[in-house]
Structure 1
Amino acid sequence: MTPDPQVLDWLLDSDPALRWQVERDLAGAPPEVWQATRARVPTEGFGAELLSKQDPDGQWAGGAFFPAGFEFSSPESGEDPGQPWTATTWSLKSLREWGVEADVLAGTVEKLAVSCRWEYDDLPFWGGEVDCCINAWTLASGVWLGADVSGIAQWFLDHQLPDGGWNCEWVEGSTRSSVTSTLNSLEGLLVHEVATGGSEELRAARLRGQEHLLERRLLRRLSTGELITPRVTHLAYPFRSFYSALHALDHFRAAALHDGVAPDLRLAEAVESVRAGREPDGTWVQQRRHPGDVWFEEDVPVGEPSRWLTFHATRVLDWWDAAAS
């Protein structure tokens, strides 16, 4: 469902980090056009601003997953400031997703190898740690920037649970997969596979993880058929670490295109939940803002039409509807 010209013009009137993707995936622009826009990301708008926040030692905010000196509020305070989104993990994730080329960050791999340690057990950055979501983002950042993250790739084979997914709470004894942990793991594995070709074992692990989510139609508990959480159909951008139908569909679209397969029909209910969020004017509205400190706002406040959500939702529906036609 290609957006009408007015919505497309609105989407194109955006930061280069989004505009080049709209040009490539919705407007059908030739490669020389969207590649030229993508090349502007490090020098304009979001990309330039986030790059300017990098510390001399290669980190952002002085920390790996959390800013230096960050402390969670005590439960007694009644406050929920949320996860800060400013440290190295999150900054690298954003820059990669915005299309910044690795050579823009030349030297960062080496700097982080020296300066950046995980808050968990002071482990070295490029070796990962025990949280599968953190390891997935580090795997993706590593293959993008050219770090040796082969150990993290093997980690996912070693820690896939019997039901096919992953759970960041495995270290606490959990033996049942989490849809959130599984989705974040799948995204990292797909980035690694696209960049390196992966291996038969890693591809099989990814497909098993995808099956874990497909069995639940991305939305529902396998045991009761109830929604996994009431927020699973909520629309919120940036996706961050949170699970939602749109976030999951964004992965399944990318995976299907990489694998050269048609959309799995078990995605239908999730697709229609996204379609139902479309406003009469062809846009999707921000429904929730994930709390937590940011360097700057990437998207609109709750209640306003979101270019990022409209782009992602339209792209998913375009992919789904094209396969059905």
Structure 2
Amino acid sequence: MRRGPLEDWLVDSDPALRWQVERDVLGASPDVWEATRARIATEGFGARLLALQDGDGQWAGGSFFPADYDFDDDQVSEDGQPWTATTWTLNTLREWGLDAGVLRERRTAELLDEHSRWDYDGSPYWSGEVDCCINAWTVANGVWLGANISAIVDWFLEHQLPDGGWNCEWVNGSRRSSFHSTLNSLKGLLFYEVATGGSADTRAARRRGEEYLLERRLIRRLSTNQQVGEWLNDFAFPIRWSYSALNACEYFRMAALHDGTAADPRMAEVIGIVRAARQPDGTWLQTGRQPGRVWFEVDVPAGEPSKWLTLYGTRVLAWWDAAMQP
């Protein structure tokens, strides 16, 4: 495509972002964007995170929380969730597109199996947890690194709620699905299917979960038809765990491309939210990342144009608009 100021601004970025701009915005040939993607392990953000890995395969000495986290001090309430531990760092590297071979050469999956335990109950890392979102990330990270996560995949089939979604509060008795938990669960199942092909059961579970959100137009309560919350408009990067209109649309874009299916017209309203957030210069603004300790910043402060969010918004609208053409 023809490059203008917006494309020049986007492509002038860290390799973790640049290769996606080259592929999804500029339409560059695979030899171009694959070469940029390979640089993640040796340059910029990716190289910095890799250098911070502990000798036991973890980051910050812990599975979900850093080793020095004081659970008795309720730091989450005061300072926010720390984002430096193993699960969050693996999520980041995987989502950036790091070649899994880099971490496989370090025997990361084997080291985590030997040394990392969940904060919740001390169970082995690749056996999973009780939280849907944590299990979804563990499925995606496990299949990426070559770990055996089949038991966690089965866990999702067993814990899908009657309405078709999932809720991390199931352990406290909830029988009604959550937008946040369902979206994260779907992401884990989709990554698993892309990597392995999945099974008839996992594909059916993912379809039911997608229908839970689509039946609600991705933004509305089924009971009252009201929008679910102001967080729909929170376009923040890093995305972490939170649901937003943009995050949901990006999932359905990826799922449709994987499945070879058309965009579902029930997404029209949520696409409108994404489109309305685009600035006159074609950018999307950072609304503000979730508080909490990070290794280093990878995006701009709140109120400034975000290259990451602009990439996501640009490719979501390009996909939708192409799908809606007669």
* Fold in common (TM above 0.5): yes
**Which segments of 5 or more consecutive residues in structure 2 lack a partner in the other structure?**
none
- Contact (CA 8 Å) 1:60, 1:86: kept in 2 or not? yes
Residue of structure 2 in register with 1:45 after alignment: 44
The number of aligned residues is: 323
Q: Map 1:107-122 to 2 at 5 A.
A: 107-122=107-122
Q: CA 1:73/1:81 → structure 2, altered by over 3 Å: closer, same or farther?
A: farther
Residue of structure 2 in register with 1:27 after alignment: 26
Letter in structure 2 aligned against 1:311: L
- Contact (CA 8 Å) 1:65, 1:87: kept in 2 or not? yes
Residue of structure 2 in register with 1:87 after alignment: 85
- Tell me how far apart the structure 2 counterparts of residues 179 and 309 of structure 1 sit (CA, whole Å): 20
- Contact (CA 8 Å) 1:73, 1:79: kept in 2 or not? no
1:7 aligns with 2:6: yes
Task: Note the C-alpha offset of 1:228.
Answer: 0.8
- Contact (CA 8 Å) 1:3, 1:314: kept in 2 or not? no
- Tell me how far apart the structure 2 counterparts of residues 78 and 297 of structure 1 sit (CA, whole Å): 19
TM-score with structure 2 setting the length: 0.96
Q: Map 1:1-325 to 2 at 5 A.
A: 5-72=4-71, 80-106=78-104, 107-325=107-325
- Tell me how far apart the structure 1 counterparts of residues 247 and 76 of structure 2 sit (CA, whole Å): 29
- Contact (CA 8 Å) 1:3, 1:282: kept in 2 or not? no
Letter in structure 2 aligned against 1:200: A
- Contact (CA 8 Å) 2:3, 2:26: kept in 1 or not? no
Task: Note the C-alpha offset of 1:78.
Answer: 11
Letter in structure 2 aligned against 1:296: F
Task: Note the C-alpha offset of 1:5.
Answer: 1.3
Spell out, residue by residue over 1:51-72, the C-alpha distance to the aligned partner (whole angstroms, 9 max, x if none): 0110000000000011113135
Secondary structure at the counterpart of residue 164 of structure 1: coil
Task: Note the C-alpha offset of 1:174.
Answer: 0.6
Percent identical residues: 64
Task: Note the C-alpha offset of 1:17.
Answer: 0.1
- Tell me how far apart the structure 2 counterparts of residues 142 and 99 of structure 1 sit (CA, whole Å): 15
Which moved further from structure 2: 109-118 or 279-288?
A: 279-288
Q: CA 1:146/1:226 → structure 2, altered by over 3 Å: closer, same or farther?
A: same
- Tell me how far apart the structure 2 counterparts of residues 59 and 74 of structure 1 sit (CA, whole Å): 23
Letter in structure 2 aligned against 1:289: R
- Contact (CA 8 Å) 1:184, 1:241: kept in 2 or not? yes
- Tell me how far apart the structure 1 counterparts of residues 83 and 32 of structure 2 sit (CA, whole Å): 31
TM-score with structure 1 setting the length: 0.97
Secondary structure at the counterpart of residue 209 of structure 2: helix
Task: Note the C-alpha offset of 1:79.
Answer: 5.6
- Contact (CA 8 Å) 1:73, 1:80: kept in 2 or not? no
Task: Note the C-alpha offset of 1:102.
Answer: 1.2
- Tell me how far apart the structure 2 counterparts of residues 236 and 90 of structure 1 sit (CA, whole Å): 16
